[in-house]
Chains A and B, each alone.
Chain A
Amino acid sequence: MNRNTRVIVQGITGREGSFHTKLMLDYGTRIVAGVTPGKGGTYVHGVPVYDTVEDALREHEAEASIVFVPAQRAPDAVYEAVDAGIKLVVVVTEHIPIVDSARMIKYAKARGVRIVGPNSPGIIVPEETLIGIMPVRSFRKGRVGIASRSGTLTYEVAEAVKELGHSTVIGVGGDPIVGTPLDEAALMFENDPETEAIVIIGEIGGTSEERIAEYVLSGKIKKPVVAYIAGRTAPKERRMGHAGAVVYMGQGTFESKMNSFRRANVPVAETPYQVAELLRQLL
């Protein structure tokens, strides 16, 4: 992903879609078209709008799409992008039923399409492109890759490590089932020549953090890794804001993640601010 990546915005005429289209354009993102059924022929911030993704791709070429469509119709938008041949779909939409997400992610995977999200703040490659809703002032081009299950907490940590700068920052999404889980994002950073160190911002629920610890133990990840895990004091079976931040059947507790990282010698910050300190010790 770089400044040449061509992007379409699905749900571009909505409040969120239009607002963030402007911010992405200001950052330099190459937005070539927008899609909103029934709004074809109009323009949003100078971007031509089409009724369907297929219509848009008849006039423009695009590799990626970002989805702002409301939850009940967001899966439609994702299936449409996949069928039209888009290769990367970033789903910002929150509150998609989990069964629907599971089905659409499987559909995309089977067709070689990468989904980021749902409930994702997107991806930023500083000074190149932003496909997401991240506040750009928190980011600077540099050496640290950040993979996170969170939004604002990511910006907090990003600012704390701003002097080292960021290669790519990806918010994988706060839902229980996401297209690109945290562990897959971590592997992508391992293979990314721009990234020298990896910051993992995890939280309770699921087992992605545990898997990352395994990758470090087995040598599949060799770059320095620093982690932070939110939810140390969360009661079990209570959902902490994110649909994915919930512990069922004792899976993915704070202790389990903490112990896995400890076994793999991955330093875990006690506060978001401490991430910067731990990184400096490793680099």
Chain B
Amino acid sequence: MKLYEWEAKHLLASLGVRVPKGQLVKDKFEGKGRYVVKAQVLEGGRGKRGLVRATDDPQSAIDEMRKSGVDLFLVEEYVPHDREAYISALLDRETGEPMIAVSPVGGVDVESMAQVRTFVIPMERGVRGYDLIKIERHIGIKGVGDVVNALYKLVTEYDAELAEINPLAVTPEGPIALDAKVIIDDNALFRHQDLLSKFNRAYKPESYVDLGGDIGIISNGAGLTMATMDMVKLMGGEPADFFDVGGGADRARVKEALLRVASNPRVKRIVINIFGGITRCDEVARGIVEAIDVIKKPVFVRLSGVNEEEGRKILAEKGIEAYSRAIDAIGDALRS
């Protein structure tokens, strides 16, 4: 679960990191002077979309952003600073240990940063003084102990799979987090109910990812769903979504998936790619049949595996002919 910027900063501040003085605003802001107005949305790239603005007229900035549908803003004091750096913590997949990543140049997309260095700090010992010396040397900033300790704690105690401060600004009073991104491991949310209630977030992990195109995609298993999406793209189509119904999906789950994918107004045709292992093709077929009259969009179904024959028969009675190969189903979906 990705936290909103204000939530991430609240958490960081509670762990001893300096953040700009700020205020959550829905529509009206009284203050005068130089401020930074930041739309509280979860999508990245806010700067490029004009959703972060340093301004002497915060109310106008708010009014303008409200027009694009934003309804919550973090209005912060403007912090003059000399320089911006990058720092984050995440679990290193190779060693299974927390890792601090830093760059002396922040404020830009981390992928385009040249001087990123990583420091693996094993859980067994935690952050030590010599780690800080090495980190401070690389980014050329003194006094990052609180920041490093807070980020480290977010990974080991708050189950953050990514805790990032970008940029970390250098001021005479020490480093300060101008922007923050924290993503909590969905699987660990059960032990962070206090956070959920503090931020008033009800979170349900979803197997649906919006991809922006017009070909709806439903498949079973993450790998197969990805492969389906890749094949659609490779054959010249634009995937509308990624929807993995998971292992052992029954008719209700399939019906629900189909209704969800079809409810996207951009979706024109839907590819369903099922390889029955734990999932039974007849259950899938029943789910499709139950949804098809409601959605009124053409579906291209590939069925293979357990109870395939029965599944095909159920679909055939509804006038849907199942394919044996995903490629053929996708090909016809793109041609029709």
Contact A240 B221, CB 8 Å, known A102-B91, A156-B275, A271-B234: no
Question: Is residue A134 contacting chain B, with contact meaning CB distance below 8 A?
Answer: yes
Q: Which residues of chain A have C-beta atoms less than 8 A from B306's C-beta?
A: 135
Bound-complex Cα distance A201 to B224 (A):
11
Cross-chain contact of B278 among A72, A133, A148, A234 (Cβ < 8 A): A133
Q: Which residues of chain A have C-beta atoms less than 8 A from B211's C-beta?
A: 233, 235
Q: Which residues of chain A have C-beta atoms less than 8 A from B194's C-beta?
A: none
Per the CB 8 Å criterion, the residue count for chain A at the interface is: 61
Contact A207 B230, CB 8 Å, known A233-B211, A241-B242: no
**CB atoms of A103 and B123 under 8 A apart:** yes
Q: Would you give the shortest CB distance from A140 to chain B, in whole angstroms?
A: 15
Q: Which residues of chain A have C-beta atoms less than 8 A from B279's C-beta?
A: 152
Bound-complex Cα distance A226 to B110 (A):
32
Question: Is residue A6 contacting chain B, with contact meaning CB distance below 8 A?
Answer: no
Question: Is residue A245 contacting chain B, with contact meaning CB distance below 8 A?
Answer: yes
**CB atoms of B222 and A249 under 8 A apart:** no
Bound-complex Cα distance A95 to B207 (A):
13
Give B176-200 as 1s and 0s: 1 = Cβ < 8 Å from A's Cβ atoms: 0000000001111011000000000
Cross-chain contact of A135 among B88, B224, B305, B325 (Cβ < 8 A): B305
Q: Would you give the shortest CB distance from B153 to chain A, in whole angstroms?
A: 12
Cross-chain contact of B230 among A102, A106, A231 (Cβ < 8 A): A231
Q: Would you give the shortest CB distance from B156 to chain A, in whole angstroms?
A: 6
**CB atoms of A271 and B327 under 8 A apart:** yes
Give B247-291 as 1s and 0s: 1 = Cβ < 8 Å from A's Cβ atoms: 100000000000000000000000000011111000000000000
Q: Which residues of chain B have C-beta atoms less than 8 A from A242's C-beta?
A: 222-223
Bound-complex Cα distance A241 to B190 (A):
19
Cross-chain contact of A207 among B94, B159, B185 (Cβ < 8 A): B94
Question: Is residue B101 contacting chain A, with contact meaning CB distance below 8 A?
Answer: yes
Give A75-96 as 1s and 0s: 1 = Cβ < 8 Å from B's Cβ atoms: 0000000000000000000011
Question: Is residue B209 contacting chain A, with contact meaning CB distance below 8 A?
Answer: yes
Residues of A within 8 A of B (CB): 71-72, 95-103, 105-106, 133-135, 137-138, 148-156, 159, 174, 176-177, 201, 203-207, 228, 230-245, 248-250, 270-273
Starting from the known contacts A97-B187, A99-B155, A241-B223, 13 additional A-B residue pairs (CB-CB under 8 Å) come to A97-B159, A101-B96, A103-B123, A150-B223, A152-B277, A203-B222, A205-B93, A230-B223, A241-B221, A241-B244, A242-B222, A271-B227, A272-B326
